[in-house]
Amino acid sequence: MILRDLLNDIDIVHFNGDDGLEVSGISIDSNNVKEGFLFVALRGENTDGHRYIDSAVKNGAKALIVEKTPEINSQEVSVVQVNDSRAALAVASANFFRHPTKELILVGITGTNGKTTITYLLESIWNYEQKKSGIIGTIDYRYGENIKQSSMTTPESLDLMRMFREMRELGVETVAMEVSSHAIDKDRALRCQFDAAVFTNLTQDHLDYHDTMEDYFQVKKRLFSEYLVDSKKEKKYSIINIDDPFGARLVKEISGNIVSCSIKNANSAVYAKTSRITEEGIEANINTPFGDIQINSTLFGEHNLSNILAAVATAVSLGSSKESIEQGISNIKSVPGRLEGIENKGGFNVLVDYAHTPDALKNVLLASRPLTKGKLILVFGCGGDRDNAKRPLMGKIAMELSDVLIITSDNPRTEDPEIILDYIEQGVNQAGEQEKSYYRIADRTQAIRKAIKTAKKDDTILIAGKGHEDYQIVGTTKYPFDDRKIAREALKEI
């Protein structure tokens, strides 16, 4: 692509060079630069791309996007100075890959909890309609025969646009994408042409990054007030869960086609007229602007009813039929790492869930209780180098809502696991449930083994925090570790 076309719609502070040169590719990693590439220098948390400009030029870069003008010897390199390299990267990537999201039905889902489940629900509805679909999210990126383990919930804008173009070349029509707060703040989803944006909820998480809940909310709001507004799609929808206080607020602060959803609020566009949540799953009669939809799902818990309502609201807004929605939701038996059951012959339940926030932990504990005739045994921990204010909150919830509690490690990273457990224990002590069984076992493998050895017939073991993850981060190293695998191995020993 010609450089001037690549730079279209980028806010340029200063330009020096030839805007007619041919650009053969884009990279943010100097090691991946090839002859004729555009190199974009990004400032990261641990390094600064401007330090690698000489390396990029040596490897063949013919154009640079920078925030500060570099000192380079080559006169054959065009330099584009901007105020924000990340925003410029997103625009340049969309231009280079010919705005692929204009050719897709694209749904962006944001919120603290529920994003992954909603992508699976939408994918199942679209699959029933025989539409080729793509998913971008926490577990993986998948489309056609391609399945890539995700390195981050929402990829960098360059990778995102490349992926969207690959999807279109493979005939993908619809995409459900989780949009994290970090991605919005770093403009990874800038220039994505959304057909719908979904808000699930906002509960305490990522305050190590956002500082306050208000900051966190304002970032999430941008998906609706900026990205969706800027989308060139003819019809665009904001799907908002108004059972959440921040969702109720969001409805008042944005404009456009708003489709509210609620478990009980009959003033919502989509709401559950009747619902029944049991150990077998969820049955609900859902009111929509296009008639009632009957839901029968094997997913558990009120939080999953909320996720189903958001998926229904999105699907009906985008034109899916009643039959497609009912059958698509019915076809989902489980979501990886979301109250995922581990088969065993012990006469008790073993569930693995990704819950790693106070609200998510509360929801999965409440959802597990109807499945439990005996005791509810919880194994959980909190990640290191992350929001430590949520740790005592989770400890208190855990002690109050379980019968047997085992606190343990969960990706301690560079923090001392025992210090993380000290934070959790503050909340455990606040609960004042002295008569309950409680264990502190920093080794996660041993904690899971203890839970399985403790369980008796009709009990439920809930292993929370990591869900689908197949690694444990200790220090700066990722080690293979999968709660599901550890549980299966321990079950063989009983």
pLDDT in tens, 200-245: 999 867 666 767 999 999 999 999 999 999 999 999 999 999 999 9
Is there a contact between 116 and 153 (Cβ–Cβ < 8 Å)?
Answer: no
Rounded distance, CA 79 to CA 297, Å? 56
251-271 pLDDT per residue, tens: 999 999 999 999 989 999 999
| Residue 316 to residue 441: CA distance in whole angstroms | 47
Strands of 111-172 (E only): list them: 133-136, 140-143, 146-149
What the block records as the tokens of 443 is: 């080794």
Which tokens hold the place of 256? 């456009």
Task: Count CB-CB contacts under 10 A for residue 75.
Answer: 7
Instruction: State which amino acid sits at residue 139.
Output: I
Burial of residue 265, with CB atoms counted within 10 A of its CB: 0-12 exposed, 13-18 middle, 19 or more buried: middle
pLDDT at 210: 65
Gap between the Cα atoms of 203 and 373, Å rounded: 30
The model's confidence at residue 20, banded by pLDDT at 50, 70 and 90, is: very high
The CATH number, out of the four listed (3.40.1190.10, 3.40.47.10, 3.90.320.10, 2.40.10.10), of the domain defined by the range 100-331: 3.40.1190.10
pLDDT tens by residue, 390-424: 999 999 999 999 999 999 999 999 999 999 999 99
CATH tag, 340-491: 3.90.190.20
Buried b (16+ CB within 10 A) or exposed e, 394-413: bbbbbbbbbbbbbbbbbbbb
Band the pLDDT of 76: cuts 50, 70, 90: confident
By the 8 A CB rule, do 107 and 176 touch? yes
Three-class DSSP category at 284: strand
Q: Which residues, listed in sequence order, are joined to residue 293 by a DSSP beta bridge? A: 286
- Model confidence pLDDT, tens digit, residues 303-351: 999 999 999 999 999 999 999 999 999 999 999 999 999 999 999 999 9
- The span from the CA of 492 to the CA of 345, in Å, is 9
Q: What percent of the chain has pLDDT over 70?
A: 98
Fold for domain 3-96? 3.40.1390
Averaged pLDDT of the chain: 95
Label residue 380 left, alpha or beta by phi (over 0 means left) and psi (-120 to 50 means alpha).
beta
Question: Where does residue 156 rank: exposed (0-12), middle (13-18), buried (19+ CB within 10 A)?
Answer: buried
Residue 276 pLDDT exceeds 70: yes
| Domain boundaries along the sequence of the chain | 3-96, 100-331, 340-491
Give pLDDT, residue 211.
79
